[in-house]
A = this chain, B = another copy of it.
Amino acid sequence: MGKYVFGVDIGGMTIKLGLFTTDGELVEKFAIPTNSGEQLLPSAAKAMIDKLTEKGLTTTDLLGVGVGVPGPVNEDGVVLIGVNIGWPEPVAVSDNLSALLDGTAVYVTNDANIAAVGEMWLGAAKGVNSAIMFTLGTGVGGGVIVNGEVINGCNGSGGEIGHLVAITEGGVQCGCGKTGCLETVTSATGIVRMTKELLATSDTSSSLHQVQAIEAKDVFDAAKAGDELALVVVDRVGFYLGLAAANLAATTNPEIFIFGGGVSYAGEILLTAIRKYYVQFAFPSVKETPFVLASLGNDAGIIGGASLATGGLR
């Protein structure tokens, strides 16, 4: 049985790879540019084989490979669509990549799910068996893990918590085709949009009027400095995320909530805002569920992939 695993995090621009021991020790991490479309998997396989060769290893030294992909993944390891990586049709990543790696077992899940798995293996939720992770970036992704298993869902739409309904009427258009999704009001993009709207329509004075190209970080920084308008925005973000977390807690009742992605770098001010509303909306027996910030940053994906490959969390 192999003593090494690869964790692979496929993104629109780069593929991040990590060679790990099965104990979770990183041997080496590296990245290659994403060849979108048909060449993606062969180029990833080649990168792995080259790295093994460089280390004096072969595919027989691998226990498995775990892959995170930006798109819905079904229970058979088939990616149904990969908009950002040139996969308009379903791709059997698990089977195809395995064939390119001499039959090495390949486990595949969505990129947001895999970050959650990583945090549970070696990060902020280490040792926990069930968790829900919010990845608050340009969009909003989610990972729902129950009893150590990623909930991919029957057609890969499990954990699509960026598309929970935040606003039932009059919400803004979401990339998914609906309106009012959680992503439209709690992603970095959504936070900036809400702030600009408020700046344009409210009489509240704000230091943000002076900022040229507002980013989510500016809003949180202003809020930390006491800016009234920024505090209103942060409070709203807390409302939407607190409400969503409360509903999720009454559904799968996880041991912990993890908040990751660029927006989560705001830190405690964000968690405090979410918690304020979570406590209001949560079923009594889940009010104490802890909230933590993700701790693995950009490595969460490759670490989660490595975890999948070891069978630790799947």
Contacts and interface: CB of A to CB of B under 8 A. Distances in A.
B250 A163 contact: yes
Interface stretch (A29-37, A143-151, A226-234): A143-151
Given A165-B247, A251-B248, A283 B154 contact: no
Contact of A243 (B161, B165, B248, B255): B165
Nearest to A168: B243
A170 interface: no
Interface of A: 72, 75, 80, 129-130, 144, 146-147, 149, 151-161, 163-165, 168, 176-178, 243, 246-255, 280-286
A157 B285 contact: yes
Contacts of A254: 153-154
Does more than half of chain A's interface fall in helix, strand or loop, or is it mixed?
loop
B249 A157 contact: yes
A161 B251 contact: yes
B255 A164 contact: no
Contact of A164 (B130, B159, B247): B247
Contact of A151 (B146, B164, B243, B283): B146
Contacts of A155: 253, 285-286
Contacts of A163: 250, 283
Contact of A253 (B149, B157, B282): B157
Nearest to A81: B285
Nearest to A146: B151
Contacts of A251: 144, 151, 158-161, 164, 248, 251-252
A106 to B, nearest CB: 19
B157 A286 contact: yes
B72 A160 contact: no
A246 B75 CA distance: 21
A154 B250 contact: no
Given A154-B254, A165-B247, A178-B280, 15 more contacts: A129-B154, A144-B251, A144-B252, A151-B253, A153-B286, A154-B255, A156-B285, A157-B285, A160-B251, A160-B283, A163-B250, A163-B283, A177-B284, A178-B282, A251-B252
A253 B178 CA distance: 17
Nearest to A144: B251
A165 to B, nearest CB: 5
A261 to B, nearest CB: 18
Contacts of A248: 251
Nearest to A152: B253
Contacts of A158: 146, 251-253
A90 to B, nearest CB: 12
Contacts of A159: 251
Nearest to A131: B154
Given A72-B285, A284-B176, A285-B156, A161 B130 contact: no
A243 B80 CA distance: 25
A147 B149 contact: yes
A177 B254 CA distance: 21
